[in-house]
């Protein structure tokens, strides 16, 4: 699989498990209920519903897919496939399906501990969908456009627990999401995979609908104009007066219960004056924003690597993305670092072209 690099988009560094410690890290899974997509679809505006239906069709209308003769080596451990089954995310299959998919895990750090995230790279379906003209519509704005909300009285946050796994794959489409484990057994996903080109847009649209975002839902289902609502793939934040935010939070929790949406308890804050959202520490009492503790910790760790005098291209790319994100929070004008950014872009463009001559270890300072 070819990795595409972008210094402007990537904020979290992941890697394939290499060491025995990494291979022994737990798989990130959870037995969440499948959400009631039909109920949520009925709340969408006409424009949103038309786009959602088209993206849903592209994702699950798999009749035209034909399996290729190629077979790729699986990187998924059999024990992980069994964990997916135990949590209702996959089920056993009789053999190959409509397309060739590549299952693997990546290692990431969460709350100071390593864990593995399951990815099903549906590369044949992705290629066919993109060749048909699909371009994702996930309107994530620059972090600076969200910051004015700190002047509100308070805010509430919600985060879907294992959000992608809350979307059930229709039974008639599951044979297009089949894969093998390293023991040679066949499986098929029952939930939306990370690794499908349409998955982020579907997730963002569903989250925005749950949140009552006025750009996505019918007027009758939208949060009041006095409440600012922001969504970020599977994260939600309300800001406004305490009364209005409490009411918006109550309604979204009621809808979540009705539509079988599961929130992540650790990231649930209601009418709070201090919380983290999209890498920002929000302090409504002082009207100030700062770099979140999580992002600060990651930057501190990255800078330790910088002081060693060298950093991998992948690490440099991640650091660049984090610094750009942080610069908007603290008001640093990145134009002063034009030549450093130009160098990073040149490096990542060369990597994307597959140039073998690019040195994978470069000095970030020189």
How would residue 147 be classed by pLDDT, with cut points 50, 70 and 90? Answer: very high
DSSP assignment string, 43-104: TB-HHHHHHHHHHHHHHH--TT----S--------HHHHHHHHHTTSEEE-SS--SS--EEE
Average of pLDDT values for 157-173?
A: 94
Instruction: Spell out the long-range contacts of 252-261 with Cβ–Cβ below 8 A and sequence spacing 24 or more.
Output: 252/158, 252/210, 252/211, 252/212, 255/210, 255/212, 256/158, 256/210, 258/36, 258/39, 259/35, 259/36, 259/39, 259/40, 259/210, 260/33, 260/34, 260/35, 260/36, 260/166, 261/35, 261/160, 261/166, 261/210
In this predicted structure, the answer to whether residue 362 has a pLDDT above a threshold of 50 is no
> Would you state the pLDDT for residue 120?
95
Average of pLDDT values for 16-33?
A: 80
Kindly report the average pLDDT of the chain as a whole number.
Answer: 85
User: 151 and 157 in contact (C-beta within 8 Å)?
Assistant: no
Per residue in 75-93, pLDDT (tens digit) is: 789 999 999 999 999 999 9
How would residue 364 be classed by pLDDT, with cut points 50, 70 and 90? Answer: very low
> d(Cα 293, Cα 277) in Å, to the nearest integer?
11
Task: Tell whether pTM > 0.85.
Answer: no
Least confident window among 57-71, 96-110, 304-318: 304-318
Least confident window among 21-25, 121-125, 148-152, 177-181: 21-25
> Would you state the pLDDT for residue 159?
95
How would residue 276 be classed by pLDDT, with cut points 50, 70 and 90? Answer: very high
Q: Is 34 helix (H, G, I), strand (E, B) or coil?
A: coil
> d(Cα 166, Cα 32) in Å, to the nearest integer?
6
Top pLDDT among 203 and 323 is at 203
User: 329 and 283 in contact (C-beta within 8 Å)?
Assistant: no
Average of pLDDT values for 348-360?
A: 62
> Would you state the pLDDT for residue 256?
96
Average of pLDDT values for 111-124?
A: 87
In this predicted structure, the answer to whether residue 300 has a pLDDT above a threshold of 90 is no
Token pair listed for 97:
């399906």
Per residue in 240-251, pLDDT (tens digit) is: 999 999 999 999
């Amino acid at each position: 699989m070819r990795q595409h690099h972008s210094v402007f988009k990537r904020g979290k560094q992941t890697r394939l498990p290499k060491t025995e410690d990494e291979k022994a890290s737990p798989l990130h899974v959870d037995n969440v209920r499948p959400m009631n997509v039909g109920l949520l679809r009925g709340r969408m505006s006409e424009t949103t519903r038309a786009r959602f239906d088209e993206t849903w069709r592209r994702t699950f209308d798999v009749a035209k897919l034909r399996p290729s003769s190629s077979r790729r080596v699986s990187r998924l451990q059999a024990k992980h496939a069994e964990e997916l089954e135990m949590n209702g995310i996959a089920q056993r299959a009789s053999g190959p399906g409509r397309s060739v998919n590549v299952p693997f895990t990546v290692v990431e750090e969460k709350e100071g501990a390593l864990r593995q995230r399951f990815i099903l790279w549906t590369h044949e379906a992705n290629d066919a969908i993109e060749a048909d003209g699909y371009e994702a519509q996930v309107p994530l704005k620059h972090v600076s456009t969200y910051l004015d909300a700190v002047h509100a009285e308070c805010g509430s946050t919600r985060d879907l627990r294992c959000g992608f796994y809350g979307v059930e794959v229709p039974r008639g489409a599951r044979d297009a999401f089949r894969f093998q484990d390293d023991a040679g057994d066949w499986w098929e996903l029952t939930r939306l995979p990370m690794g499908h080109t349409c998955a982020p847009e579907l997730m963002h649209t569903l989250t925005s609908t749950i949140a009552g975002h006025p750009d996505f839902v019918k007027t009758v289902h939208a949060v009041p104009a006095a409440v600012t609502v922001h969504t970020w793939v599977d994260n939600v934040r309300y800001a406004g007066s305490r009364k209005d935010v409490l009411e918006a939070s109550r309604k979204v929790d009621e809808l979540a219960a009705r539509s079988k949406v599961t929130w992540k308890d650790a990231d649930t804050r209601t009418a709070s004056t201090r919380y983290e959202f999209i890498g920002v520490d929000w302090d409504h009492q002082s009207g100030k924003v700062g770099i979140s503790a999580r992002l600060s910790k990651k930057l501190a760790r990255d800078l330790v690597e910088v002081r060693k005098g060298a950093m991998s291209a992948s690490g440099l790319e991640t650091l660049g993305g984090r610094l750009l994100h942080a610069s908007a929070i603290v008001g640093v004008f990145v134009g002063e670092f034009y030549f450093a950014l130009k160098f990073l872009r040149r490096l990542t463009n060369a990597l994307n072209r597959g140039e073998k001559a690019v040195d994978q270890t470069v000095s970030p300072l020189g």
